[in-house]
Every structure is written in C-alpha cells, then in structure tokens.
Amino acid sequence: MSGHSHFGTVDLDRIDLAILKVLQSDNKMPQRRIAEVVNLSAPAVQRRIKRLEDLGVIAANTAVVDPAKVGHAITLFVEVEMESERAAMFDAAKRTFAATPEVQQCYYVTGEADFILVVVVRSMAEYEALTRRLFFENNNVKRFRTFVSMDRVKVGLTVPLP
C-alpha cells in the first residue's frame, strides 16, 4: 500500500478498490461484513478505510437526502458567464457560490459559460430571490441561463472503479 502518485491520484490495490466499491454502494455496511467480502480481517479493513480517508480518497461520509422529500422540489442548472477574466473575480465568485446553501454543486468550466451550478430550491419565487442575490446584484456576472430539471433520471456521486 503506497501513497500518492505524481499525478495527484493515489495508488490503490485491488483490495482498496474492492473496499471502495462496497462503501460506494453501502456506506453503512459493518466493517466485519466488508472484511468477509474482501477476504481480510476487520482490523485490516478498518486500517485501510482510515488510510483511504486520510489520503482524501474517501472525501466524506454523508447521507444523500432526496431534495423533494424535504421540500426542495425544484432542481435547476445554471450557466453563469462572468464579465471579467480577472482571477480575483473568479475566486470571489467561487467563494460566493460555495457559501450559498442552495448551490448544491458548482463547477468552473471551459466554453462559453464560466460556471455551471446545480441549485435546489423550494419554489421559483425562492430561485428568483436567489438570482437577485447571486447574479443581478453582482456586477461581475455578465449573464446567466437557467435550465429547470423536469425529472431526476440519475443522481449520484459513484465513481466507476476498475
């Protein structure tokens, strides 16, 4: 079990990958059960999971909440084009988007748009108020374009593993 490689990726053996596959499908599976699946002792599995967390391979252990079940029934995708190419403006935008609870995901992207946001809100009125705060009151936002999700066909953060 070695550490970081020179590309920012982490060297993982087949047992690490097997553990990650199990955890991606069932994060609450007891370590003794994972140990049976990957043919290791429970303490060895515990050490490997700790190492994967320490290396940042396992970035978080969280519950995935269905937004509609907690009243956030509307999911929107927003392309944001910035006015200025200055790094300070992009850094400020990144901080603002990251600190906004309704912004579930934010990506800095290539192409016409500078950012793609995934936003969850209770109502279009709530989204309209959010656009005022994030876009209309921000002189560095040139334009934004909103796409409303009609159906959540697939949602997940599972990474395909070899």
Q: Where are the beta strands (DSSP E) in the chain?
A: 74-82, 103-108, 115-121, 141-148
Residue 13 has pLDDT above 60, yes or no: yes
DSSP annotation of 101: T
For 121, half-sphere exposure in the C-beta direction (CA atoms, 13 angstrom radius) is 19
- Model confidence band, residue 16 (pLDDT cutoffs 50, 70, 90): very high
Q: What percent of the chain has pLDDT over 90?
A: 69
pLDDT of res. 152: 86
pLDDT of res. 71: 79
For 49, half-sphere exposure in the C-beta direction (CA atoms, 13 angstrom radius) is 24
Q: Where are the beta strands (DSSP E) in 25-125?
A: 74-82, 103-108, 115-121
Burial of 66: CB neighbours in 10 Å, binned 0-12, 13-18, 19+: exposed
pLDDT of res. 7: 56
**CA 107 remoteness from chain centre:** 9
Compute the distance between CA of residue 64 and CA of residue 142 in angstroms, rounded to an integer. 33
Compute the distance between CA of residue 60 and CA of residue 97 in angstroms, rounded to an integer. 20
Identify the weakest region by mean pLDDT among 12-21, 63-72, 129-138, 142-151.
Answer: 63-72
DSSP annotation of 10: B
Residue with tokens 């603002």: 96
Residue 4 has pLDDT above 50, yes or no: no
pLDDT of res. 65: 79
Would you say 112 and 96 are in contact if contact means Cβ atoms under 8 Å apart? no
The mean pLDDT of the chain is: 90
Residue 3 has pLDDT above 60, yes or no: no
Nearest partner of 101 among 129, 141, 142, judged by Cα: 129
